Amino acid sequence: MLGNWRVSAKDQSAQSLAEAVAGQWTYVASSPHSVGQEAFHAELTLNQTDTRANDAAIKALRKHDVLVLAVGEHGNESGEGRSRTSLRLSSVQQDLIRKAYKSGKPVVLVVYAGRPLVLEPWIQDGAAAILWAWQPGTMGGRAIADVLTGRREAYGRLPMTFPRSEGQIPLSYDSYSTGRPGPKPEVFWSHYIDESNAPAYPFGFGLSYTTFEYRDLVVEPTAEGWAASVTVRNTGTRAGSDVVQLYVGRQGNGQLYPVKALKGFQRVVLDPGAEGRVRIELPREALVQRDGQGRSVPFTQGTLTVTVGPDSQSGLTWTTLLP
């Protein structure tokens, strides 16, 4: 629950998920994640072989309708001095997940981590839901329980791009175009032969307990620049919110720009079946970029693309040519 910078904190000061739901849910300990010393200044040794408690845990929980598994990183497994070559869940945790999936019950994964991790496709596909809890702090257990039981909405959005595999790193939504864009029918474009270029989960991604539909994007000039308006409709059966995000792409103007850059966002709350018009301003100053000499260069000529949607990889697009 506590992150890497816990040196001044008491280890037992944070409320765990098990403590938050004590007396309401059945808690059973699985095989330990680490063995030996757990200290701020010491290396953390992971349990890589002892899976005995996993079998007992799944057996004890088979009578329940839903299984919730708390997996991921220990607070002393990420942060300063904790670099990793593998961002996968430990073999013992993967063993627990496999056995939970074989039970035939819906499985919810609560992942504690100080960074994006790599979840193999079988883990993603087998989970009924994945809640990325990060390292939530002293009252994280109560907050997570509120989200899992529907008392609160999971309205967070990813602040980082999650890779499919470590070989994709560094991976970010606001990268620059390569000299060999694609895809192309021949092999001569920037890609992997054994992996997709796309991330597992894009920057800005996040789900809630309802669904949304975007339509009717309109971008109009204003005195300060432009304004983008879009209609968002709650297509689900319960109230909820979505984060409407505005990204820009720029080409030309004698500068090299990221393929896409976040320039605005706004949360909208809607009842089931309701829709609303969301407006996000895009001032000209938001398109300014510094050149190699540190001088501010306004975007005055070239192709401007505006994309509005729920994350960095989806949405509605508008394009214009300046001036």
Give the span between the Cα atoms of 4 and 7, in whole angstroms.
8
Domains of the chain: 11-148 (3.40.50.1700), 212-322 (2.60.40.10)
Structure tokens given for 54: 């996993």
Task: Please tell me the predicted confidence (pLDDT) of residue 1.
Answer: 79
Please write down the HEC assignment for all residues of 221-277. ECCCEEEEEEEEEECCCCCEEEEEEEEEEEECCCCCCECCEEEEEEEEEECCCCEEE
In angstroms, what CA-CA distances link 167 with 79, 85, 99? 21, 10, 28
- Phi/psi of residue 58, nearest 5 degrees: -65, -40
The span from the CA of 77 to the CA of 44, in Å, is: 6
In 3-state terms, what secondary structure has residue 149?
coil
pTM, entire model: 0.93
Tell me which residue of 128, 114, 161 sits closest to 1, measured CA to CA.
114
With a cut of 80, say whether residue 12 has pLDDT above it: no
pLDDT of amino acid 300: 96
Asked if 98 contacts 51 with a C-beta cutoff of 8 angstroms, the reply is: no
What pLDDT was estimated at residue 262?
98
Local structure of 306: helix, strand or coil: strand
Calpha distance 279→34 (Å, rounded): 49
Is residue 152 classed as helix, strand or coil in its secondary structure?
Answer: coil
Q: Give residue-wise pLDDT tens across range 236-272.
A: 999 999 999 999 999 999 999 999 999 999 999 999 9
Distance between CA 50 and CA 307 in Å, rounded?
49
Distances (CA, A) of 36 to 32, 46, 48, 77, 303: 10, 9, 13, 13, 58
Tokens of 180: 């060999």
Q: For the segment 28-63, what is each residue's pLDDT rounded down to a tens digit?
A: 999 999 998 888 888 899 999 999 999 999 999 999
pLDDT at 316 over 90: yes
Strand partners, 264: 246
What's the distance, CA 269 to chain centroid? 20
CA distance linking residue 99 with residue 112, whole number of Å: 20
Q: How far is CA 4 from CA 43, 80, 147, 151, 243, in A?
A: 12, 8, 24, 29, 29
pLDDT at residue 182 greater than cutoff 90: no
Mean pLDDT confidence for 273-298 = 96
- Longest CA–CA span in the chain (Å) reads 68
* Token duo for residue 104: 């035939």
- The band of 290, judged by pLDDT with boundaries at 50, 70 and 90, is very high
Does the pLDDT value for residue 148 go beyond 90? yes
